[in-house]
Amino acid sequence: MQKYTTLILVGLIVVLAAALTGVLIFLKNQPTQERAFQPLVEIQPMEPDSEKWGVNFPNQYTTFLKTKTNNIDTTYAGASQFSWLERDPRQVLLFAGYPFSKDYNDDRGHVNALEDVRATKRLNLNLDDPKRTPGTCYSCKSSNNPALWNELGMEDYDKMSFVELGEKIDQSIGCANCHEAGTMRLIVTNPALEEALTAQGKDWETFTRQEMRTVVCANCHVEYYFAGEGKYLTFPWANGTDVYSIIEFYENIGFKDWDYPEAGTPMLKAQHPEFEFFTADSTHFNAGVSCSDCHMPYVRDGAAKFSSHDVHSPLLNPELACGQCHTDTEYVVRRVFVIQEQVATTKIATEDAILDAINALQVAAADPNADSALLDQARTWHRKAQYLWDFVSAENSTGFHNPEYALKILADSTNYARQAQMLAAQSIDDTSLLATGTFDQGSIP
């Protein structure tokens, strides 16, 4: 009898252990977004104050706060707010006539976005009439935005001036820019992104979590322009998100950011097209890697595993960032430097070509007898050359996010710049406009 009891007990233990194992495996395999958690405090929808979210998510919040002071530079870029105009004086000339020629600092971490947009001389330049700076400039700078867009609609938001809208904004970029309160799922909050995706027939609600770990970055890290008098925030993606399709889009709508002084070229300024650049068949993107995998790697605090919200260059913590996939991080970092050095060198050659073209164009444009058709063709190439270059230059990876794409774009840009120069020379039939290497650092004001 005792023998039977023992057998029954052992049997029960086995069954229970198997069941427990099954349940644990099941729980382990649940997608993170659906994992139940017990919030300590209730977060209101679109809550702008990240500190409140931080009560429920202290690890994420603590790391997020580090973006206040993670102002470390890498070899080719960084977050110390150094001046691009001092580091590469060619850019003073490339952006002549546009605020970027007066003030162009590399950006600091997310927590500083609000302070930095208010401090930039690019906007203070308009202080003679503060209302001229549109509120749209706040679109990527604050976690107040989702609630404001919801309350006002993006159209009215964009119509407000920077000063007016500023009274409603007191938070830098934060939780509400990417997360839905309650579920904490990753969401598109910027209406311009939603509209751009919809126009492409895409519904982000159907995207996987891994896809969203890239798409939420596109709430801000994209190319955009302000459409019409209402300064309506618009992504130029109607023809596609590759740089050639974006140029085609701008050509079709005849958009320009400014006219290049004395050359008369209608210019385009690229913003920070990380999303478009990375997703254009880059090897990491095609391999299924998301922005967050490298810039917000999983870390541990005791038993808790979470995505670091101290967003910065993976070069500052390659063991964590690259080491999630790559075993030899020393090799990987060396590889990044090889690529960035190639891109940086080629970029300077491209800049020299564009500056040669600008110098030629300015002479030709000053000549009343210039052939206007040839001059306009020259301007078209100048416009395209500089936008292509800027697409690589303004993108925050010195080409690393998509190395071959960067170098192909720069090759095209140099070719276009030389064609602009040649057309300018043809327009006034003057071969003296064909001088190369005309950049003179001493000439910079």
**Residues at the site binding a copy of itself, with contacts judged by CB under 8 A:** 281, 283, 286-287, 328, 331, 334-335, 338-339, 342-343, 345-346, 349-350, 353, 403-405, 407-408, 410-412, 414-415, 418-419, 421-423, 425-426, 429-432, 434, 436
Pick from 316, 271, 309: nearest CA to 291: 309
The residues pairing with 161 across neighbouring beta strands, listed in sequence order, are: 134
Characterise 336 by phi-psi region: left (phi > 0), alpha (psi -120 to 50), beta (else): alpha
CA-to-CA dists, residue 217 to 230, 324, 350, 359, angstroms: 25, 20, 29, 38
Residue among 305 and 334 whose Cβ is closer to a copy of itself: 334
Residue among 85 and 336 whose Cβ is closer to a copy of itself: 336
Residue among 6 and 345 whose Cβ is closer to a copy of itself: 345
Q: How many CB atoms lie within 10 A of CB 389?
A: 24
Provide the minimum distance between the beta carbon of 244 and a copy of itself in the complex, in angstroms, as a whole number: 11
Provide the minimum distance between the beta carbon of 280 and a copy of itself in the complex, in angstroms, as a whole number: 10
Place of tokens 């007990």: 9
Separation of alpha carbons 227 and 152, rounded Å:
18
Provide the minimum distance between the beta carbon of 219 and a copy of itself in the complex, in angstroms, as a whole number: 27
Provide the minimum distance between the beta carbon of 100 and a copy of itself in the complex, in angstroms, as a whole number: 24
Residue among 193 and 339 whose Cβ is closer to a copy of itself: 339
Provide the minimum distance between the beta carbon of 256 and a copy of itself in the complex, in angstroms, as a whole number: 24
Residue among 111 and 406 whose Cβ is closer to a copy of itself: 406
Burial 77-89 (b: 16+ CB within 10 A, else e): bbbeeeebbeebb
Pick from 204, 224, 229: nearest CA to 215: 204
Characterise 426 by phi-psi region: left (phi > 0), alpha (psi -120 to 50), beta (else): alpha
Q: How many CB atoms lie within 10 A of CB 340?
A: 22
Separation of alpha carbons 181 and 184, rounded Å:
5
Residue among 231 and 379 whose Cβ is closer to a copy of itself: 379
Provide the minimum distance between the beta carbon of 114 and a copy of itself in the complex, in angstroms, as a whole number: 37
- Compute φ and ψ for 391, nearest 5 degrees: -60, -35
Pair 388, 356: CB distance under 8 Å = no
Angle formed by the axes of helices 403-427 and 329-365, nearest 10°: 10
Provide the minimum distance between the beta carbon of 398 and a copy of itself in the complex, in angstroms, as a whole number: 12
19: exposed, middle or buried (C-beta count within 10 Å: 0-12, 13-18, 19+)? Answer: exposed
Provide the minimum distance between the beta carbon of 229 and a copy of itself in the complex, in angstroms, as a whole number: 39
Provide the minimum distance between the beta carbon of 127 and a copy of itself in the complex, in angstroms, as a whole number: 41
Provide the minimum distance between the beta carbon of 296 and a copy of itself in the complex, in angstroms, as a whole number: 23
Residue among 11 and 288 whose Cβ is closer to a copy of itself: 288
Provide the minimum distance between the beta carbon of 80 and a copy of itself in the complex, in angstroms, as a whole number: 27
Separation of alpha carbons 345 and 107, rounded Å:
22
Residue among 8 and 338 whose Cβ is closer to a copy of itself: 338
Residue among 152 and 407 whose Cβ is closer to a copy of itself: 407
Separation of alpha carbons 184 and 366, rounded Å:
59
Residue among 349 and 366 whose Cβ is closer to a copy of itself: 349
Separation of alpha carbons 352 and 239, rounded Å:
30
Residue type, 216: V
Residue among 190 and 426 whose Cβ is closer to a copy of itself: 426
